[in-house]
Chain A
Amino acid sequence: MDKQEIIDKINQVFEKSFEIEKGKLQPQANIFEDLGLDSLDVVDLVVVLQQKFGIKIRDDQRIRNIRTLEDIYKFILILKDEGKNTVN
């Protein structure tokens, strides 16, 4: 899975699960201030991302530093590269 595929899949999550317009899904968009997610929505987002990418991210401390969509793209890319947290 290349970078663009990951970006497309993440954007699909925001479009389908949160019904956020495609136009708002800019890499620099702040997921809290611009997209309107809150801490509980982030928990929902994590669950969907885990299912979508077959990775375990719930207990990963790095998730606390995520602010923008770009941060999510990078975070998922790193986890896919690490390839060790695969959910069975």
Chain B
Amino acid sequence: MKTLKLIYFNTVFYTLFLSFSMFSIPILSLSVIFLGLFSSHRNTMKRFRRAINWYGNVVIRVLPFPFVRFRYKDYARNKGRGPYIFVCNHRSSSDPFLIGCLPYELIQIVNTWPFRLPVLGIFARWAGYLNVKRMQFKEFSCKTIELLRQGVSIVAFPEGTRSRNKKIGQFHSSIFRVALQAQCPIVPICISGNENIPPRGSLLLHPGIIKMHKLTGLEWEQYKDLGPFKLKNKVRDIIASELAAMEGGHERFISLS
């Protein structure tokens, strides 16, 4: 019975996913291109990145429903307009889609594999997603700071790769060095429940509940005296602590002070 349910869910999801993608990607692209004829390159990019967010949002929240339910909580005390550096834990290839629920113009820092995805990889490149494996730190830093200066928020998965279990991996310090230079707020994002949606090395989605918590950001004034090593571990501890609370069955508010 469980296997049948799994087959049914995946058949329905992937049929909807392909149909929706074939329909929405050309329409969204043409709309952005058409509106781009009457507006600046900057506004066109803004619209393009928002369209990607909207697409990701539908793919992960609407198409797999009711087999997969998504619960998003925003714990931020002050809801500014950004830009921010969002730092997320990384357990599943569905993480980049989940990020679509953040109401900001954003780009993601990714590995090489998302750029190899058919169609989506091309859009990631056009949107200005940064391939951290393909650039030296100096180039990465310059490009990221320029995007932040334009008002574009950055999403980073500093574990670098999807964790093989629920344990959070060591963080890479690149994005924290950029945050220190750019004096940009760092917002921790905790994602739980999508370890099997889909599991590492598979495309098979399993039913479940995905929780995503956006925590209060660390302002530059709060972290400016920390070195990158201490800063990355502080943010890692905040995320690990929230994940433990989310997965321990009780939710709690984390103080960042």
Contact = CB atoms under 8 A, between A and B. Distances in A.
Interface of A: 17-19, 32-33, 36-38, 40-41, 44
28 contacts: A17-B227, A17-B229, A18-B227, A18-B229, A19-B229, A19-B230, A19-B233, A33-B170, A36-B170, A36-B171, A36-B232, A36-B233, A37-B229, A38-B170, A38-B172, A38-B174, A40-B137, A40-B172, A40-B173, A40-B174, A40-B177, A40-B228, A41-B173, A41-B228, A41-B229, A44-B227, A44-B228, A44-B229
Most chain A CB neighbours (cut-off 10 Å) among B174, B177, B227, B229:
B229
Interface in B187-245: 227-230, 232-233
Interface residues of B, number: 13
Contacts of A40: 137, 172-174, 177, 228
B230 A38 contact: no
B227 A38 contact: no
Contacts, number: 33
Overall SS of chain B's interface: helix
Contacts of B228: 40-41, 44
Given A38-B174, A40-B172, A40-B173, 10 more contacts: A18-B227, A18-B229, A18-B230, A36-B229, A36-B233, A37-B229, A38-B171, A40-B137, A41-B173, A44-B227
A43 to B, nearest CB: 9
Contacts of B233: 19, 36
Interface in B151-198: 170-174, 177
